[in-house]
Amino acid sequence: MPSTDDRIASFGPFRLAATARRLERDGLPVLVGDRALDLLIALVDRAGEIVSHRDLVASAWRGLVVGDGSLRVHISSLRKALATGEGEPCYVKNVAGQGYSFVRPVVFETVAMPVSSSAAQSAPSSKRLTPPQRLARMVGRDHDVRSIAADVLDKRFMTVLGPGGAGKTTVTVAVAHELQEKFADGVCFVDLSEVQDGGLVSSTVATSLGLTLETADVVPTLLDQLRALKILLVLDSCEHVVEAAASLTETIFREAAGVHILATSREALRVEGEHAYWLPTLECPPQNLDADSVLEYPAAQLFMERFRASGGRLGFDAAMARLVAAICNRLDGMALAIELAAGRAGSHGIAATLRLVEQDLELDWNGRRTAHPRHQNLRALLDWSYGLLVDSYQRALEQLSVLVGAFDIDAARAVVEAGLDTLQIIDSLVSKSLVSVELGFDGSTKYRILETTRAYARERLLESGKADATFQRHAEYFANLLDLHHGGHIDLDYAARAPALREHLGNVRAALEWCFSRRDDMEDPTLSVTMAAAAAPMLFELSLLSESLRWSEAGLAALDDATRGDRRELILTTIWAISSMWVRDSSEVLTATARGLELALALDASAHRLRLQALRHMVMTRTADFRGTLVPAADWDVCAKKVGDEDCLSISDLLVAQSRHYLGDQTIACRHFELGFARAGNRNLQMCGMDQRVRALVAWSRALWLSGFPERAVNIARESVASAEGSEKPLNTCFALLFTIPMHLWRRDWSSAQARLDQLAEHTHWRALEPFHATADAMQGAVNIGRGEIEAGIDVLLGLRGRMGDECLNFMGTSIACFLAEGLIAVGRTAEAAATLRSARQANLHGGEAAQLPELFRLEARAQMEESANGEQVVRLLRRSCDLARQQGAMSWNLRSATALARIHMLQGDLALAQSLVEPIYGRFTEGFETHDLKAARQLLRELDVEHRATRL
């Protein structure tokens, strides 16, 4: 069994293994989050010293800028993990203004730690990744496959080197199949040949892993995902993006120990950890062997397979064996070159092919630097292959080279000039091994030009003077295709369209780059706007938000008199607004939304009007303009009825329900929730990057708790998280985890709230959702107060008050005020608590959240009771809280306030009044009898019963 040295730190009952990242107490593992563990390792390593805030942040948030609030939250989490009981020592102390210090004695020892196979396996991803289909039969590569597979397992990072056409991809796919059972999370195969911009390498890898991108810098999110996986990552065709591929692979090798890397390239990546494997050419038969002996060599086997596949029907005798051996040797065993030659031999004959090879072919076998980097070894062969085509076929191949990746016959016809029989030409190019045939995701026939051939033909196209006309046809075709099949759709059927959208991604990116680079020279300058309007919705639906923002912004900047005010501006405005909300959190979103609605009304575009009203509702909710949300909810209802779609109608009820919930009308809210979910069922209602079903479930769980259904509220909260996880959209999951926490806090269920916070902190995409971090900090502060760490919780919440301009904190403003007031009252700072509550109540008079007004009045009464002896004012506030809760249908608030009011009357000796306040409300509850508020009410009723009996004696 392999082993590694680890430095063990012992302190009190704890043992910390830094390398193994394991903390034990009395031999049992202690659960602690990654960030808290990073902080502990840094503090223990410098035990007795003061470690500055900056150094601690650097150890736990490498390369990121985070606030002191985040550090305090994780220090608090660490202290909880190290808490061993009352009277036992504190391990981490705060040194005001300087940092933190580990203050207990530490003993270090170095031990050899065995690495078990089970420990080495990380948790599998939700969907096991698999490599592409391997060739039914691979010629002459079994030894290479075995050698590379062994090296990948042993050395972790292998690059298969060789010239274009040597068979690197074929061998690598075979290696991936050999090794896939060795990796718990499978094989992620990434074809980089379609990536033209090195800046897109990281996002392409992330997309291949199934990640949804909601940030421009995907590397931190990608690394977070990879650290949790045991996977083989295959990067095919790195040579044209070698700098980006080198940087990414080196980072992954350093940061993700469970990832093994297998790359293919025509030149070494030259980075740390890389080991190169030069893929030799196929072994060729020497001259003067008999026919049977020649066919024992893989180069000859490959030639004959391709020859027969291309229509060759001659028998294989000694004369043919000599010709085949000569061709293979002349081509030096290059797999692609042999395939091309064999394809020609099927129509021209083997003898004629040998003459062409010997007389006209001048390959750069030594890889001259003066040759194009991508064609150092195949340029002459491609010249020769190209020279066999008639003029019209040459032009067609050049024009087909603008197509990226797989394409169908319609795309081919669109880019090839008029007057040519495209289907006949494609068939001929397939037979000549210049174009390959494959199946699309839907089983349809697709074509693909080998990348070296495509690059060669593209050069020819650029030299021909016809490139711009061809690129324009290419852009027009894909703009029309996207508009025809995907334009105008709202997001609800995203899942059905996603595979088709991804299939076009390479071509759409290429068309966008060309349109905006050549806009000033185009015959039709509006094409750039048309292309951006067609592409931006696709990029958004694929969660490529930084790209959708970039191209919608570029399209809007390119508007002119011919395009301003039409459907294209509407689409670009809509996508820009949605993308800005999630990527930039832009204050201009509502202005853009208003412009979009103006255009949607003028153009009678109901689908876009729906999108914009959903966006408007979300933005207004985040900024706490809850009364304002009634307007987009009502407008959505009008549009939904016009569209007549059942999904849209269900969302109509859900939007109204959420607005009514936050405005404090729980009875109407729950009625609309019931109607909306009855219509929606379990469908995924994706809209504006957010599953509206998940969003509504979160609000419904809150409304149910307020309405007196504590157990149903918990079940719906769990359903919201499960539904979010099932949508495979990380934003949905993070949203559900974060915004179900207030309901757990209302229940006084601190452990469930903390569990949600811990899940959130460990989520792969949480780091990228920066606008929501302050909200999570507020939740953590509330949990700290609830668990008795009152000063720490107050510090966190007071630190957030200066950031109340943040959209997410506006949404949480009333909750933060309530949490903070409870903490301040608990430590005797009642005047501050009362001022905090009055300020929050004043804010709620201007359209803010009314749902928590009863709780604001109750807490204000409690603060008054602690601060002075003005009993009448306390009673007035509690009665107002009860009355308001009753009007809102908020039975849980009503019970809590009535219990507080009843205790006052009981102390005053009015037992009957006290009982009449609580007993009817308590009697209406049908569940949740073990929750905090119901237990408190039940205890009060028992005390009243005892008092009643005592007075009767």
Question: What per-residue confidence (pLDDT) applies to 50?
Answer: 92
- In order of 83, 152, 559, 610, 635, the CA distances from 570 in angstroms are 57, 51, 11, 12, 18
The per-residue pLDDT for range 919-952, each reduced to its tens digit, is: 999 999 999 999 999 999 999 999 999 888 887 7
Question: What per-residue confidence (pLDDT) applies to 247?
Answer: 95
Question: What per-residue confidence (pLDDT) applies to 352?
Answer: 82
Helices in 644-708 by DSSP H: which ranges? 646-662, 666-680, 692-706
Q: Mean pLDDT per 10-residue run, the chain (953 residues)? A: 64 85 79 77 91 85 62 80 70 87 88 43 47 79 94 96 79 93 90 83 84 70 87 91 93 95 89 91 86 88 85 78 87 79 77 74 34 44 75 95 92 95 90 75 81 81 93 95 72 60 88 90 86 91 85 94 92 90 72 93 88 90 88 90 82 94 95 93 78 94 98 96 84 91 96 94 78 87 95 92 60 87 94 91 75 94 84 94 97 98 94 96 96 97 89 70
Question: What per-residue confidence (pLDDT) applies to 700?
Answer: 98
Report the distance separating Cα 66 and Cα 75, nearest Å. 14
Question: What per-residue confidence (pLDDT) applies to 255?
Answer: 93
- In order of 315, 349, 633, the CA distances from 614 in angstroms are 70, 66, 8
Distance of CA 632 to the CA centre of its chain: 28
Could you write out the three-class secondary structure of 404-460? CCCECHHHHHHHCCCCCCHHHHHHHHHHCCCEEEEECCCCCEEEEECHHHHHHHHHH
Report the distance separating Cα 51 and Cα 99, nearest Å. 5
Report the distance separating Cα 796 and Cα 814, nearest Å. 16
Report the distance separating Cα 43 and Cα 40, nearest Å. 5
306 close to 433: Cβ distance less than 8 angstroms:
yes
φ, ψ of residue 277 to 5 degrees: the values are -125, 115
700 close to 739: Cβ distance less than 8 angstroms:
no
Closest alpha carbon to 271 in 295, 252, 284, 291: 252
The per-residue pLDDT for range 823-878, each reduced to its tens digit, is: 999 999 999 999 999 888 887 766 668 899 999 999 999 999 987 767 899 999 99
Question: What per-residue confidence (pLDDT) applies to 522?
Answer: 76
Bridge pairing between strands 275-278 and 259-265: unpaired
Report the distance separating Cα 41 and Cα 58, nearest Å. 12
The per-residue pLDDT for range 292-318, each reduced to its tens digit, is: 888 889 999 998 888 887 777 777 888
Of the chain, the end-to-end C-alpha distance in Å amounts to 79
The per-residue pLDDT for range 120-136, each reduced to its tens digit, is: 333 333 446 778 877 77
